[in-house]
Amino acid sequence: MKQKPFFARPRNLCVLIVFAACLLGLAAGVVRNCVLYAEDGLSQAVFSHRMWFSLLCVVMMSVIFLAELLFRVRFPLFLELFAVVFAFCSVALSTVYGFYERIPPWDTIMHFASGPLFSSVGLCLAWLLFRDKLQGAGRAVSYALFALLFALAVGYLWEVYEYAYDSLTGKSLQGWELGLIEDLGNGQYLVDDRRGSGLIDTMTDLIVNLAGSALFLIPVFAVSLKRPAVLDGFAATVYPRRTRRQPRRAAAQTDEQTDPEKNAPQKKGQTDPERETTPSENEQTAAQTDERP
């Protein structure tokens, strides 16, 4: 059966359209920042920061497809689209378009949305790991718990990244500059909250991530107890690994073993040409037989 071209399939075409739309939106943001920088509307530091995050956005939008190629799986369509749109919103809109400054709760919205996204990824991974090992209520509990811990782990690693980035570059991804009132010198600052705005930002992000994950997983868990087939909606398509070509000697042996002419049984009265003996050989055999006592 002849396969359709890759982008002739509705699923692949849908992914291409969404990915291309996000890339166009990102390109428009890059052009906008270049114009602002040329007109002295952006500082060198802000412009470099946004250009770096433009590259990061392309990488993050491609991560799910790189994982599919590496592990030879295909995640559900809704998860592919969700991952691409989330990467565009959390990086391009947040930093390249400056939504963090324009919409104060934007960071909280993104961390809340990351809960359902990475919970869905966790459910897909749980299906790949436990699809043939668990049944009944244990399956629903294991899937939900695995997905919750996976989403929380991703949120934790993101906060580690923000802390490392701020420490190495002096930026303020954690928002520690927002609470500064005055620099008193000698490493001392006057802040509006003794807990520090960076700590408040980090803990708020983790709590919101937990809330988004729980609000997504609790209904999925409740429904899967009565209808276990719901979890199959997070099933990923697994493609077999390609096998290497057999060596020539092995292939030749395989051909000999599967050759019907060589392995076919002989009929009565039919001799094997390879085993036929010459008349002289027959006479020598008969003479040796007569000489025996």
Full set of structural domains in the chain with CATH: 1-103 (no CATH), 104-234 (1.20.1240)
> What pTM value is reported for the model?
0.74
More confident residue, 278 or 119: 119
Q: Is the pLDDT of residue 284 over 70?
A: no
Mean pLDDT score, 106-133:
92
Q: Is the pLDDT of residue 58 over 80?
A: yes
Task: Indicate the pLDDT class of residue 163, thresholds 50, 70 and 90.
Answer: confident
Q: DSSP class of residue 229? A: G
- Write down the pLDDT at residue 239: 86
Query: Are 83 and 117 in contact, with CB atoms under 8 Å apart?
Result: yes
Q: What is the mean pLDDT of the chain?
A: 81
Query: Are 177 and 79 in contact, with CB atoms under 8 Å apart?
Result: no
- Write down the pLDDT at residue 183: 65
Task: List, in sequence order, the alpha helices (H) in 242-278.
Answer: 248-257, 260-263
Q: Range with the lowest mean pLDDT among 69-78, 202-211, 240-249?
A: 240-249
Task: Indicate the pLDDT class of residue 45, thresholds 50, 70 and 90.
Answer: confident
The crossing angle, in degrees rounded to 10, of helices 106-130 and 137-169 is 130
pLDDT digits (tens, 9 = 90+) for 165-220: 877 876 766 666 666 666 666 666 666 656 566 778 888 899 999 999 999 999 99
Highest averaged pLDDT of the listed ranges 243-247, 258-262, 269-273, 287-291: 243-247
Cα(197)–Cα(180) distance, rounded to whole angstroms? 8
Strand ranges in 26-119 using DSSP code E only, listed in sequence order: 73-74
Q: Is the pLDDT of residue 280 over 90?
A: no
